[in-house]
Amino acid sequence: MENKVDIKKINEKIEKESAFIDLLRTEMNKVIVGQKNMIDKLLIGLLAKGHILLEGVPGLAKTLAINTLSKAISGSFSRIQFTPDLLPADVVGTQLYNVKQSKFTVKKGPVFANFVLADEINRAPAKVQSALLEAMQEKQVTIGEETFKLEEPFLVMATQNPIDQEGTYPLPEAQVDRFMLKTVISYPEIDDEKLIMRANLDNSTNKVKPVVTLKKISTAQKLVREVYMDEKIESYILDIIFATRYAEKYNLSSLKPLISFGASPRGSINLALAAKCYAFINRRGFVIPDDVRAVVFDVLQHRIGISYEAEAENMSSVDIITKIVNEIAVP
């Protein structure tokens, strides 16, 4: 009985404290039309202190989305256009020699911002990618002998273009795993595109104003952890993760030759956290199975290795996750 009272209390608290999500969504929808999935995933990444890899053809408002989010939260925003000639110093910063003072001074790079857009991350060589990924993982940057903490909140949204393979350096699996979510952005619906077209032709795009403080976001990031998750939901998450590793134990023997490696423990942690965040942005203080199903593809599609056999059969990691989610019993 006591447990039930607790859940009720948590639910009321979360419902009250998550009211700002509606403000954020309203503000972002002034500029971003018909990309609800992308906005939701950005909010999940922000609340979970995770980072997002967005994949989609050019022109789907990926850059605009993170820029709009930074304006609505009054945070600092920087954009790094990744190119083959980019150097790690162009991302994190460098030491400059000051002749007047006869000493080196530090010039901080664009990674020192609340919201960092790494545009076309697969266009830069591995050395540059790893400089950014270190900042993402450690939340700090070392320039020379000095180490600088990055300001909170810190969200990296990297984009990669799936159609252009010339002059690209694909992210290795271990580095892709650093991204909490990989979200594939699709084209807008015809009615949404009509609105986008009209707004651009009329030049009537709305101005975004700050509606949430950085302090509020920091509080929400702590609160998300308080969202209640039942043991049955925990078991459900672990069953999904373990089915990617030991398919035969879950009545999915046909998947075993298609998976070269399953999701790591980082997958289960992120799936649980993303489900809590999804409950939070839907103004709920407890996780339900639908929350897990809503984020499972974004959390796992880049964490499962598919074999040559799967490629030969034209099976993607999304197809494999679909089969797993359909087979695992929902609590």
Q: What is the mean pLDDT of the chain?
A: 86
pLDDT band at residue 1 under the 50/70/90 scheme: very low
2: pLDDT strictly greater than 70: no
Contact 71, 208 (CB under 8 A): yes
Top mean pLDDT of 151-155, 177-181, 236-240 is at 236-240
pLDDT of residue 43: 92
pLDDT band at residue 164 under the 50/70/90 scheme: low
How far apart are alpha carbons 330 and 253 in whole angstroms? 20
pLDDT of residue 71: 87
pLDDT one-digit tens code per residue, 24-77: 988 888 888 878 888 899 999 999 998 999 888 777 778 888 888 888 888 888
Residue range 2-218 in CATH 3.40.50.300: yes
**DSSP assignment letter at 162:** S
Structural tokens at position 94: 């460098």
166: pLDDT strictly greater than 80: no
How far apart are alpha carbons 173 and 302 in whole angstroms? 8
5: pLDDT strictly greater than 70: no
- φ/ψ of 160, rounded to 5, equals -140, 145
Looking at beta carbons, which pairs linking 35-41 to residues 24 or more positions away fall under 8 Å?
35/60, 35/61, 35/65, 35/185, 35/188, 37/183, 37/185, 38/62, 38/65, 38/183, 38/185, 39/65, 40/278, 40/281, 41/181, 41/183, 41/298
The CATH class for the domain spanning 227-327 reads: mainly alpha
Count other C-beta atoms under 10 Å from residue 41's C-beta: 28
pLDDT one-digit tens code per residue, 116-126: 998 888 888 88
pLDDT of residue 4: 53
Helix (H) or strand (E) holding 305: strand 305-306
pLDDT of residue 136: 87
Say if residue 210 is preceded by a cis peptide, omega within 30 of 0: no
Look at the block and give the residue holding tokens 């308080």. 226
Looking at beta carbons, which pairs linking 256-262 to residues 24 or more positions away fall under 8 Å?
257/307, 257/309, 257/310, 258/306, 258/307, 258/309, 258/310, 258/313, 258/315, 258/320, 259/304, 259/305, 259/306, 259/307, 259/310, 259/320, 260/305, 260/306, 260/307, 261/304, 261/305, 262/303, 262/304, 262/305
CA 110, distance to chain mean position in Å, is 19
Q: 146-149 and 140-143 as β-strands: parallel, antiparallel, unpaired?
A: antiparallel
The residue ranges of every structural domain in the chain are 2-218, 227-327
Percentage, residues of the chain above pLDDT 70: 95
pLDDT one-digit tens code per residue, 204-263: 667 888 888 888 898 999 999 999 999 999 999 999 999 999 988 888 888 888 888 889
Percentage, residues of the chain above pLDDT 90: 24
Q: Is 230 exposed, middle or buried (0-12, 13-18, 19+ CB in 10 A)?
A: middle
3: pLDDT strictly greater than 60: no
pLDDT of residue 105: 82
Mean pLDDT, residues 315-319 taken together = 88
- What sign has the CA pseudo-torsion 185, 186, 192, 197? positive
167: pLDDT strictly greater than 70: no
Q: 140-143 and 305-306 as β-strands: parallel, antiparallel, unpaired?
A: unpaired
